[in-house]
Amino acid sequence: MDTSNPSELSPYRVFSRAEWARLRADTPMTLSAEEVQELQAYNDRVDLEEVEAIYLPLARFLSMYVEATQALHATTNRFLGRSDGPIPFVIGIAGSVAVGKSTTARLLQALLARWPTSPTVDLVPTDGFLFPNAVLEAEGLMERKGFPESYDLKTLLAFLHDVKAGKREVEAPVYSHLTYDVIEGRTITVDRPDILILEGLNVLQTSRLSRESRGVPFVSDFFDYSIYIEADEEVLHRWYLDRFMRLKTTRFHDPRSYFHKYADLSDEDALAFANRLWERINLMNLRENIRPTRPRADLVLSKSGDHNIETVALRKI
């Protein structure tokens, strides 16, 4: 091997947009343009062409991966003489604030659920596993919201353990982006799905290993496949500001909004405030915790400034 060429050492095979689109093969489009628009997250942009070029090949690949993994589990059960039912296939989706994780997760959920085998596909955002604001404030962590230490890791790991164990009606907490807090008493119920999609900022984050070999498992230990979504820092910054300014003229005017007090700021003051949030919290979290987990992903989707995915990196080893 010629080690002078860094690409020779990369664990990924990188596909251009056109190369990846050809891997759709004859996979039929099962979403309408209206449905695609409804699945977009706030301030994200995706159209039918993007779904055809990127998400249909990805759904095809993941469906094949799910079937192969289920067959492997069945083989293991035969060897052990067990009759356990199918184990949920867990897909983790990671990436920065404003990169479009929610849109990708919703599109994959819709496409995978309409696959010919008709699997049940559940989606759980990790926002619900953030500590409530009252806890974060008491611990001095509101400025670290979204950082690994702001999550109730014990509850998240217990949730994933129960899902992977095939337990019925496992509950996950729900987060409100309007009130910027976990909704007390409200949950999502996951009842032995064929596929679970878990999306969040730090789902590929590792923790410090125990010298006694008794370390707490990583969230990603429960994943069967992982996806990281990326864009350049300046692009993410722009998308974050665009989203903040759109929210300022819409949701912030709702008296229930956590950011209601900022609704009447001048555009100049609002932009200055949003920039401070980006620099002090989101950019720091991206650099310190989120982006370093990129090499742990099985597949990387790289976005351009127009929100389109330009390259797909697929792990080859």
Helix 56-80 and helix 101-113, axial crossing angle in degrees, nearest 10: 70
For residue 1, the model assigns a pLDDT of 43
- The whole-model pTM stands at 0.93
Q: What is the mean pLDDT of residues 163-184?
A: 95
CA angle at 84 for the pair 82 and 88, rounded to the nearest 5°:
145
Contacts 24+ apart (CB under 8 A), 130-134: 130/175, 130/182, 131/182, 132/181, 132/182, 132/184, 133/180, 133/181, 133/182
Separation of alpha carbons 294 and 312, rounded Å: 13
Residue 85 has pLDDT above 80, yes or no: no
**pLDDT category, 206, cuts 50, 70, 90?**
confident
Separation of alpha carbons 290 and 283, rounded Å: 10
For residue 211, the model assigns a pLDDT of 58
What percentage of residues in the chain have a pLDDT greater than 90?
81
Dump pLDDT digits (tens) for 23-64.
999 889 999 999 999 998 777 889 999 999 999 999 999 999
Cα dihedral value 61, 63, 68, 71, nearest 10:
180
**CATH placement of domain 11-315:** 3.40.50.300
Q: What is the mean pLDDT of residues 274-302?
A: 96
Collapsing DSSP to helix, strand or coil, 170 comes out as: strand
**pLDDT category, 129, cuts 50, 70, 90?**
very high
**Please, are residues 94 and 204 in contact by the beta-carbon 8 Å criterion?**
yes
For residue 210, the model assigns a pLDDT of 54
For residue 157, the model assigns a pLDDT of 95
Collapsing DSSP to helix, strand or coil, 234 comes out as: helix
CB count in 10 Å sphere of residue 96: 26
For residue 5, the model assigns a pLDDT of 55
Mean pLDDT of the chain: 92
Q: What is the mean pLDDT of residues 78-104?
A: 92
Q: How far is CA 49 from the centre of its chain?
A: 22
**Which of 75, 74, 24 is closest to 50 using CA atoms?**
24
Compute CA distances 123 → 27, 92, 281, whole Å: 23, 10, 26
For residue 84, the model assigns a pLDDT of 75
**Please, are residues 131 and 152 in contact by the beta-carbon 8 Å criterion?**
yes
**Please, are residues 227 and 301 in contact by the beta-carbon 8 Å criterion?**
yes
